[in-house]
Amino acid sequence: MNSQNRIDKALSKATETKFLLIEAGAINKVAEIFKIQFPDKKAIIIADPTTYAIAGEKITKDLEKENLLGENTYILKDPNLYGDYIYVEELREHLKGKGLIIVAVGSGVINDICKRAASELETPYMVVATAASMDGYSSSGAALTNKGSKTTHPCEAPQVIVADLNIISKAPSLMTASGYVDLYAKVPAGADWILASELYDKNNPLEGIEPITEAWHTVQDGLAEALADPEGAKRGEHKAIQLLVEGLMLGGFAMQEMKEWGLGVSRPASGAEHLFSHIWEMEHHTFQGEMAKKFGIYPHKDKQSPSHGFKVGIGILATLAFYELLFQTPVENLDIEKAVENWPSLEQQNLEIEKLFKGSDILPTALKQTKSKYVSKEILREQLTKIKNNWPKIKERLQNQLISFEETVQRFKQVGAPTKPKEIGLTKEDLKLCFYKAHKLRARYTILDFAYRAGYFEDWVEHLFTKGIFK
């Protein structure tokens, strides 16, 4: 199936997005598209100073010519702008009762703020993408920090997405690298989904354990092609950028498809690798120095913040390292009764969580999510038995899905993304501790959960930081 057919098929199943245009010069069609998609409506452009200069000013003039602009452009001027719910509240209050259609001009932060604000205003919106920096354009959710906790807030995806390849190919290469890595996350996320699907029981559905659905094909079928040319993406070559943008959009459409199932919306695009990123985002991680000058994207007072994609990238490498240990482990010899006997009670896990997150705003989230995914010893025995008995088949599926740690490092270097924790301002101890924190953050079943439940977790972490990849 070619890429346009994949897009058309995905759009036909998407629950909210009705129109997607990816082409060179697409910005010239924004006014025409708006008129067709939002008849008898007026627009308001939301941008930051940079995205207004890149695309917002041109769109403003075009909408004005067609008498489609309802109010002057609203520019979010905070130099430290990031995905915080306070900006949603600010925008929502500004637009309340005006009946205007938001035209978001930007990438991750702008899109997430506009997406949630539009949802709370119960109105559709449109986004004009300015960089291939993340997969959230088309997803049914906005990744926002609210009172210190980074969560994906449920909300409707944009009705219309326009991506001009001329603009996106000229975006800073670091933003493209970030998007490439965010798309790459679908590789280990797919492995986590395979692992979870082996435990799915339609007669006893458990939180965080979902079956593989048609959404799998939406995100996975064209993934290898979209990731095939990291060097071309770095150089801004239109073909590589087009495939990257398509892959990112398809990931969001897959999340929309999952919404119909009432399942974890971001399962097709997010696994253990994103949990690492979420921890560092919720801890408001910033850094300084030479690496910050090289890989820092977002200014934060006198420091820099690595992009979402770059934090995910280190999470990808951590997750792949765990999978490589899994493949070296004789799971067919797993002592299930020993694992069941050693299974920590919820009270014991809560004590572990309180130690990990003492004094942190993350603590309530970790306690709630761990309680949601906690299983009895009987269910644990059933789960481990399923994996042990079917291990040869599961192992083959996982190996066919994954790309090796070594090759992943090479591709990240080619696209210009960080490959070591220190390159985003983290120590090896930070990364080691994050294995424990990430495991407690979400109910979604991942390789971290299998390792913890099978009794491998601590040994694997120690191996990685004494004899293995991160020593």
The full 3-state SS of 139-193, as one line of letters, equals CCCEEEEECCEEEEECCCCCCEEEEEHHHHCCCCHHHHHHHHHHHHCHHHHHHHH
pLDDT of residue 358: 95
Q: What would the pLDDT profile of 244-299 be if each residue is shown by its tens digit?
A: 999 999 998 998 888 766 655 789 999 999 999 999 988 989 999 999 989 988 77
Distances (CA, A) of 402 to 2, 146, 188, 217, 236: 23, 34, 6, 16, 26
pLDDT above 80: residue 151:
no
Name the amino acid, one letter, at 420: K
pLDDT of residue 257: 86
CA distance 444 to 448: 10
Write the DSSP assignment of 259-277 as a string of letters. Answer: HHHTS-TTTTT-SHHHHHH
Residue 159 and residue 191 share a domain = no
The three-class DSSP label of residue 457 is helix
pLDDT of residue 13: 85
pLDDT band at 1 (very low <50, low <70, confident <90, very high): low
Phi, psi of 436 (to 5 degrees): -70, -40
Structural domain includes residue 232: no
Phi, psi of 165 (to 5 degrees): -65, -30
Residue 188 and residue 131 share a domain = no
**What domain range includes position 148?**
3-168
Domain's final residue, options 107, 140, 168: 168
Structure-block tokens of residue 83: 């995905």
Helix (H) or strand (E) holding 390: none
pLDDT of residue 15: 85
From the number of C-beta atoms within 10 Å of its C-beta (0-12, 13-18, 19+), residue 202 rates as exposed
Residue 367 and residue 462 share a domain = yes
Residue 179 and residue 163 share a domain = no
Structural domain includes residue 250: no
Structural domain includes residue 347: yes
CA distance 360 to 365: 10
Residue 188 and residue 330 share a domain = yes
pLDDT of residue 61: 97
CA distance 38 to 42: 8
pLDDT of residue 464: 97
* CATH code assigned at 459: 1.20.1090
Structural domain includes residue 426: yes
Domain's final residue, options 132, 153, 168: 168
Percent of the chain at pLDDT exceeding 90? 81
Residue 282 and residue 134 share a domain = no
The count of domains in the chain is 2
Q: What would the pLDDT profile of 4-38 be if each residue is shown by its tens digit?
A: 888 888 888 888 999 999 999 999 999 999 999 99
Residue 196 and residue 317 share a domain = yes
Residue 384 and residue 270 share a domain = yes
Q: What would the pLDDT profile of 423-459 be if each residue is shown by its tens digit?
A: 999 999 999 999 999 999 999 999 999 999 999 999 9
∠ Cα 8 13 19 (to 5°): 50
Residue 185 and residue 56 share a domain = no
Structural domain includes residue 223: no
Residue 410 and residue 271 share a domain = yes
Q: What would the pLDDT profile of 400-416 be if each residue is shown by its tens digit?
A: 999 999 999 999 999 99
* CATH code assigned at 39: 3.40.50.1970
Structural domain includes residue 219: no
pLDDT of residue 139: 84
Structural domain includes residue 256: no
Domain's final residue, options 115, 143, 168: 168
- Please list the residues that pair with 74 across neighbouring strands: 46
Percent of the chain at pLDDT exceeding 70? 98
